[in-house]
C-alpha cells in the first residue's frame, strides 16, 4: 500500500480519543458512581499524559472512596506535585490522611486548601471537624464560623458549631446555632434534639421538653432522644413520665446508659398503684448491677409492699409470701433496706425464723440466708428484745457446740444464727469452711467469714503514709475502726471514661474551663476515702487516672482494698494518713476529693487549707461539708447511746416511736451510718458565709454545686443574674427559704484560680 492509499484509509477511520475526551468520559462515569469504569479511563489518560494532574487527583479520590487510603495519599501527593496550587487536591489529601489516622498531617493539608482558596465553606467545615477531634475546640469553632459565614445555608456548619460550643460549656451560644439548624432543616431530628440539650443545660426544661418531643415525632425510636427526654422529665419532677420514656428507650436498645437511666427515673417515683412490668425490671436492675443498688432500695420496698400485705403480725400466709418474694431476697442481699414499714416486717420475720428453727419446723433456706446477709450489711440494726436476744444466744451456743463436736448441722441453723450475729463471732466458725453447703449458705460464709479474712490480710499490707498525732483525729479513727463507713456491696457500673475538662464542662456549663487541660493523665487524691466506693467510681470515671485514696481507719481501707481487688480495678493506691499531715508528703494533685471528711476534723479549715496547698496550678477540688441550716432538725440524743450497737438500736427505736424526720434519712438504716449521723465524736456544721470567706482567703473559685437539675432551675429562676449558680450570697438566701436543699451536705466543685 503506497502513501497515498494509507492517507485515504486513515481519513476513513475515526481518530482515537485524546486525553481531554477520555477525561471527560471518566468524570461522567465518576459522577454516576461507576468508579471502576472511571478509574480505567483516568489510567488511560495517564498513559497518554503521565502528569495529568486532574486524573491523578481523581484516581486518589476513588482510592479514598474505596478505603485504600495509603494508595490515595500517594496519588494525591503526585497530583499536588504537578499542581501545588490546586486547593481541592490538598483538601482530599487531608481526608485520605485522616483515613490513615494521621490527624496532624490531615489538618495541615486542609489548612493549605483553605489558604489557597479561602472561599470554600466545605473545606473550612472539614478543617473544623479535624481540629475538634484533636481537642482544639476554639480553632474548630473559628472554622465553623467561617464556613457558616461563607455559606449561611450550610446546615452541617451550624450544627458542628453548636456542638463544639456545647462541648466547651457554652450552651447559650450553642442554642443560637441549633435554632439556625432547625430553621434550615426543620425535619432534622438531631437539630431539635441538640437544641433541647442546650436548653436543658440552660435550665430551660419546659422548652427543652418540647424540643425532645418534636425530635421524637420525627425519629420516634432514637434512644439518645428518649434518654434526653427522660432526663428532662426528671428535672421537671415528672417521674412517671420519665419512667415511661426510659422504658421506651430500654425497649429500643438496652445499653448501660438506658439501664442507668431506668434507675435514675424510678428511684424517686412514688408507687401508689402497680406499674405494669416494673417488678421484673427492678429485679434485673438489682441482680445485674444496673446502678448502685441503694438507689433502688425505696422503690423496691414500695413494690414489695404493694404485692405482699406487709403486717408486723405476719400471718402464716403473709410470711410464706414474704419468704418467696424474689425481689425482696435480691434487695436483702445487696443493700440495706431504707423503708421503716418494711423494716418492721423484716424484724418480725427474723423473730419468726428464730422461733421456727427452735421448733425444728420447716424454713425457707434462701430467705433465711437473705435475712442473714441483710443483717450483716446493716450491722444488726434491727431491734430485738431481751427474750429474743437470749434465744438467739442459745442458738449461737448450740452452733458452737456442734462445731466443737463435729456434729451434723442443719444449714438453716447457720442462716438464722448469722441473722443475729456475724459468724466470725461464733467460736470455731472457720470450721464451717471445711464442709460442703448449699449455695445460699456458701454465700453467707463468703460474706461473713471468707471476706473478713481477706480484709485481715489486706489490712496488714496497707502502708502508713503519715503519722496520726492529732487527738481529734485519733478519736475519729477509733470510731471508724469500730464502724467502717459505709459497708457496701456494689458500686455502680463503670461509665465511659472522660477527661476532667470534659466532665467539668458538663457539670459547670456556665463556668469557662477552656484552660483546663484535656489530658487524661490525672493525679487524684481522695481524702477520707472510707470504704472506697467513691474512690473506685472516681477511678472509673476519669481515663488514665492514678488515684491515691487515704483514710484514718485501716478497717475501712481494708474493705476498700478488698472491693477494689474483687472488681479487678487497677490504678488506686490505698494508704493510712491524716489529712492534717499530708503536706509533708510533697505530692501535688490535679483533682482532690474531700467529701464528708473535713467537718470531722478539729478545725475543718485547717484541713481544707492543707488540701488546697496540694493542688497543682489550676487544680480542681470537690468538697462536701455539712450545712448548719440543713442539719438543725437532727435530734439531740444522749451521746453515750452511740458507744455500742445496742445503744444505737435503742436510739433508733426512740426516734421511730417519735416519728422523727430523721428516720427518713438514708443514713438511719445501718448501725455505722446511724452512729455517724447521730453520735459522731466530732462534727462541725458550716454556713455558706464561712465557706465564702475561706474561698476568698485561699484564692479558690467556686465552679458550682452538685444538685438536682430541678433545684438549679429554681435557683436560676429566682436569681437570673447568676446563671452559673455560683453566688454564695444568693445561695444563702435560697437555702434560708429552702432549708432542705443541702440535706446531705454542701457538695461543690472549686478550682485554684490562676
Angle between helices 155-167 and 189-201 (to 10 degrees): 30
Cell numbers for 406: 463435729
pLDDT tens-digit series, residues 511-528: 666 444 455 679 999 999
Residue count (the chain): 754
Distance CA 523, CA 542 (A): 10
DSSP 321: H
CB 343 within 8 A of CB 655: no
Distance CA 634, CA 678 (A): 7
Angle between helices 205-218 and 223-235 (to 10 degrees): 160
* Chain position carrying cell 473559628: 142
Cell numbers for 687: 454556713
pLDDT tens-digit series, residues 580-631: 999 999 899 999 999 999 999 999 999 999 999 999 988 999 999 999 999 9
In terms of Cα–Cα distance, which of 71, 12, 2 is closest to 39? 71
The whole-number average pLDDT for the span 534-551 is: 93
> Which among 172, 200, 216 is the end of a domain?
216
pLDDT at 621: 96
CB count, 10 Å around CB of 587?
A: 12
In terms of Cα–Cα distance, which of 247, 305, 241 is closest to 271? 305
Q: Does residue 190 fall inside a structural domain? A: yes
pLDDT at 465: 96
Same domain, 209 and 325: no
DSSP 601: S
Same domain, 353 and 325: yes
DSSP structure string for 88-110: HHHHHHHHHHHHTT-HHHHHHHH
Same domain, 359 and 475: no
pTM: 0.83
Distance CA 30, CA 41 (A): 10
* Coil, helix or strand at residue 238: coil
Report the run of H or E that residue 736 belongs to, with start and end: helix 728-737
Distance CA 348, CA 495 (A): 40
Cell numbers for 402: 456442734
pLDDT tens-digit series, residues 191-245: 999 999 999 888 888 999 999 999 999 988 889 999 999 999 998 889 889 999 9
CB 585 within 8 A of CB 465: yes
User: Do the strands 615-625 and 589-595 form a parallel or antiparallel pair, or are they unpaired?
Assistant: parallel
CB count, 10 Å around CB of 80?
A: 21
Distance CA 46, CA 55 (A): 7
Distance CA 546, CA 589 (A): 10
Instruction: Please state the separation of Cα 590 from the chain's center in Å.
Output: 19
Distance CA 203, CA 172 (A): 11
Lowest-confidence pick of 53-62, 178-187, 423-432, 477-486: 53-62
Pseudo-torsion of CA 359, 360, 363, 368, nearest 10°? 80
pLDDT at 15: 62
> Which among 160, 182, 216 is the end of a domain?
216
The whole-number average pLDDT for the span 2-16 is: 56
For 568, counting Cβ atoms within 10 Å of its Cβ (0-12 exposed, 13-18 middle, 19+ buried), the class is exposed
pLDDT at 701: 93
pLDDT tier for residue 2 given thresholds of 50, 70 and 90: low
Q: How many domains does the chain have?
A: 4
Distance CA 170, CA 513 (A): 10
Same domain, 60 and 161: yes
Cell numbers for 312: 408486723
Q: Does residue 231 fall inside a structural domain? A: no
Same domain, 345 and 442: yes
Distance CA 708, CA 507 (A): 11
In terms of Cα–Cα distance, which of 736, 171, 48, 239 is closest to 509? 171
Cell numbers for 165: 460550643
Distance CA 241, CA 230 (A): 7
Q: Does residue 228 fall inside a structural domain? A: no
CB 411 within 8 A of CB 433: no
Q: Does residue 172 fall inside a structural domain? A: yes
Q: Does residue 50 fall inside a structural domain? A: yes
Cell numbers for 88: 481541592
Same domain, 450 and 522: no
551 beta partners: 576
Same domain, 477 and 449: no
- The enclosing domain of 122 has a CATH number of 1.25.40.10
- The enclosing domain of 538 has a CATH number of 3.40.50.150
pLDDT tier for residue 532 given thresholds of 50, 70 and 90: very high
Distance CA 749, CA 754 (A): 16
Same domain, 95 and 200: yes
Domain extent for 132? 19-216
Distance CA 591, CA 523 (A): 7
First to last CA, the chain: 94
pLDDT at 50: 87
pLDDT tier for residue 1 given thresholds of 50, 70 and 90: low
Q: Does residue 587 fall inside a structural domain? A: yes
Q: Does residue 289 fall inside a structural domain? A: no
* Chain position carrying cell 463435729: 406
> Which among 430, 459, 488 is the end of a domain?
459
Same domain, 65 and 113: yes
Same domain, 416 and 507: no
Cell numbers for 305: 409492699
Q: E strands of 609-737, at which residues?
A: 615-625, 700-705
Q: Does residue 532 fall inside a structural domain? A: yes
Residue 562 has pLDDT above 60, yes or no: yes
Alpha carbons within 13 angstroms on the beta-carbon side of residue 19 total: 13
What is each CA distance from 36 to 43, 93, 99, 573, in whole angstroms?
A: 11, 21, 21, 59
Distance CA 365, CA 372 (A): 10
Same domain, 401 and 520: no
Q: What backbone torsions phi and psi does residue 701 show, to the nearest 5 degrees?
A: -115, 130
Same domain, 572 and 429: no
Amino acid at each position: 500500500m503506497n502513501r497515498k492509499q494509507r492517507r485515504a484509509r486513515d481519513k476513513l477511520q475515526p481518530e482515537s480519543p485524546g486525553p481531554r475526551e477520555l477525561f471527560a468520559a471518566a468524570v461522567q462515569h465518576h459522577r454516576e458512581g461507576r468508579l471502576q469504569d472511571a478509574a480505567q479511563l483516568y489510567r488511560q489518560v495517564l498513559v497518554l499524559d503521565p502528569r495529568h494532574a486532574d486524573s491523578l487527583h481523581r484516581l486518589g479520590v476513588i482510592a479514598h472512596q474505596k478505603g485504600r487510603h495509603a494508595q490515595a495519599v500517594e496519588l494525591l501527593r503526585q497530583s499536588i506535585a504537578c499542581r501545588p496550587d490546586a486547593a481541592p487536591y490538598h483538601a482530599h489529601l487531608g481526608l485520605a490522611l485522616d483515613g490513615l489516622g494521621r490527624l496532624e498531617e490531615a489538618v495541615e493539608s486542609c489548612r493549605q486548601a483553605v489558604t489557597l482558596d479561602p472561599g470554600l465553606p466545605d473545606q473550612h467545615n472539614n478543617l473544623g471537624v479535624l481540629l475538634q477531634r484533636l481537642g482544639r475546640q476554639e480553632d474548630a469553632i473559628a472554622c465553623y464560623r467561617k464556613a457558616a459565614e461563607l455559606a449561611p445555608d450550610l446546615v452541617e456548619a451550624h450544627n458542628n458549631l453548636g456542638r463544639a460550643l456545647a462541648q466547651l460549656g457554652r450552651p447559650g451560644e450553642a442554642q443560637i446555632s441549633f435554632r439556625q439548624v432547625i430553621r434550615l432543616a426543620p425535619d432534622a431530628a438531631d437539630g431539635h434534639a441538640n437544641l433541647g440539650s442546650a436548653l436543658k443545660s440552660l435550665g430551660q426544661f419546659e422548652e427543652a421538653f418540647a424540643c425532645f418531643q418534636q425530635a421524637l415525632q420525627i425519629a420516634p425510636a432514637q434512644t439518645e432522644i428518649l434518654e434526653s427526654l427522660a432526663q428532662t422529665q426528671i428535672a421537671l419532677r415528672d417521674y412517671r413520665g420519665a419512667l415511661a420514656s426510659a422504658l421506651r428507650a430500654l425497649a429500643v436498645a438496652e445499653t448501660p446508659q438506658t439501664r442507668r437511666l431506668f434507675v435514675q427515673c424510678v428511684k424517686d417515683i412514688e408507687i401508689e398503684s402497680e406499674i405494669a412490668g416494673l417488678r421484673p425490671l427492678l429485679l434485673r436492675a438489682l441482680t445485674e448491677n444496673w446502678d448502685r443498688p441503694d438507689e433502688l432500695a425505696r422503690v423496691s420496698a414500695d413494690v414489695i409492699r404493694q404485692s405482699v400485705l406487709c403486717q408486723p403480725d405476719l400471718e402464716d400466709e403473709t410470711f410464706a409470701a414474704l419468704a418467696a418474694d424474689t425481689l425482696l431476697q435480691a434487695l436483702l442481699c445487696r443493700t440495706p433496706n431504707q423503708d421503716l414499714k418494711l423494716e418492721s416486717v423484716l424484724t418480725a420475720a427474723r423473730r419468726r425464723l428464730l422461733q421456727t428453727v427452735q421448733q425444728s419446723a420447716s424454713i425457707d433456706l434462701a430467705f433465711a440466708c437473705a435475712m442473714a446477709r441483710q443483717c450483716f450489711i446493716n450491722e444488726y440494726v434491727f431491734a430485738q428484745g431481751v427474750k429474743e436476744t437470749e434465744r438467739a444466744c442459745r442458738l449461737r451456743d448450740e452452733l458452737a457446740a456442734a462445731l466443737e463436736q463435729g456434729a451434723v448441722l442443719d444449714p438453716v441453723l447457720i442462716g438464722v444464727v448469722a441473722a443475729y450475729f456475724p459468724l466470725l463471732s461464733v467460736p470455731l466458725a472457720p470450721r464451717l469452711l471445711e464442709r460442703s453447703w448449699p449455695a445460699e449458705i456458701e454465700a453467707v460464709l463468703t460474706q461473713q467469714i471468707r471476706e473478713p479474712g481477706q480484709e485481715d490480710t489486706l489490712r496488714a499490707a496497707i502502708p502508713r503514709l503519715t503519722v496520726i498525732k492529732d487527738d481529734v483525729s485519733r478519736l475519729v479513727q477509733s470510731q471508724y475502726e469500730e464502724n467502717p463507713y459505709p459497708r457496701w456491696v456494689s458500686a455502680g457500673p463503670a461509665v465511659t471514661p472522660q477527661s476532667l475538662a470534659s466532665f467539668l464542662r458538663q457539670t459547670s456549663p456556665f463556668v469557662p474551663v477552656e484552660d483546663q487541660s484535656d489530658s487524661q493523665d490525672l493525679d487524684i487524691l481522695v481524702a477520707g476515702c472510707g470504704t472506697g466506693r467513691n474512690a473506685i467510681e472516681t477511678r472509673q470515671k476519669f481515663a488514665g487516672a492514678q488515684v491515691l485514696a487515704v483514710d484514718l481507719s485501716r478497717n475501712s481501707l481494708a474493705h476498700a482494698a478488698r472491693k477494689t481487688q474483687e472488681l479487678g480495678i487497677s490504678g488506686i493506691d490505698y494508704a493510712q494518713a491524716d489529712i492534717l499531715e499530708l503536706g509533708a508528703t510533697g505530692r501535688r494533685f490535679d483533682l482532690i476529693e474531700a467529701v464528708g471528711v473535713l467537718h470531722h476534723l478539729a478545725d475543718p479549715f485547717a484541713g481544707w487549707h492543707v488540701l488546697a496547698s496540694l493542688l497543682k496550678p489550676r487544680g480542681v477540688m470537690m468538697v462536701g461539708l455539712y450545712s448548719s441550716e440543713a442539719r438543725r432538725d437532727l435530734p439531740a440524743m444522749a451521746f453515750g447511746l452511740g458507744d455500742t450497737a445496742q445503744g444505737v438500736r435503742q436510739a433508733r427505736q426512740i426516734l421511730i416511736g417519735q416519728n422523727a424526720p430523721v428516720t427518713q434519712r438514708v443514713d438511719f438504716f445501718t448501725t455505722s451510718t446511724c452512729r455517724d449521723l447521730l453520735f459522731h465524736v466530732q462534727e462541725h456544721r458550716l454556713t455558706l458565709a464561712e465557706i465564702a470567706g475561706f474561698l476568698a482567703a485561699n484564692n479558690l473559685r467556686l465552679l458550682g454545686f452538685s444538685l438536682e437539675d430541678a433545684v438549679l432551675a429554681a435557683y436560676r429562676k429566682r436569681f437570673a443574674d447568676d446563671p452559673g449558680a455560683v453566688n454564695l450570697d444568693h445561695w444563702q438566701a435560697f437555702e434560708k427559704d429552702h432549708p432542705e436543699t443541702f440535706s446531705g451536705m454542701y457538695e461543690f466543685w472549686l478550682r485554684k484560680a490562676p
